[in-house]
Amino acid sequence: MKLYLISVGDSRQFRFKAEDGHAIQVKLENELNDYLKKRFPEGNYAYFTSPRLVEIPVEEEEKYTSYPEYNDEAVAEIEKVLSTEIEAMEADRQLNNNAPNADAPLD
């Protein structure tokens, strides 16, 4: 079994052991896409749902024992962090659209 770290957006990194971490990476990406489609049906947030996966060399595994385990609670935490990121991004976009002269032509 290999040790992997997985994270999405600004979420913490979570650790898990598996023969092939890519299967878990794809599963998480699909779960997050489904979640965000339901939570934010008007947007496309594929950037936010692309998990980063890092394989940890055996000799370095000891360094990562304090990292939280990747499990259902981790997925819920990741969903919460992504929702917050998207809400902040959308709020900024709305503020920029409502700025004075937002519709003025650019020279």
Q: Is the pTM value of this prediction over 0.85? A: no
Domain ranges of the chain: 2-97
Contact predicate 35/54, CB 8 Å = no
- In the chain, the amino acid numbered 23 is A
Segment 64-75 mean pLDDT = 96
| Residue 20, both tokens | 């092939």
Q: What's 67's DSSP letter?
A: S
**Model pLDDT, residue 58:** 95
CA distance 79 to 17: 21
pLDDT per residue as tens digits for the range 4-61 = 999 987 778 999 999 999 999 999 999 999 999 999 888 777 777 789 999 999 999 9
CA distance 17 to 31: 19
Sequence-distant (≥ 6) Cβ neighbours of residue 18 within 8 angstroms: 1, 2, 4, 24
Integer angstrom CA distances of residue 42 from 17, 24, 35, 98: 36, 27, 13, 19
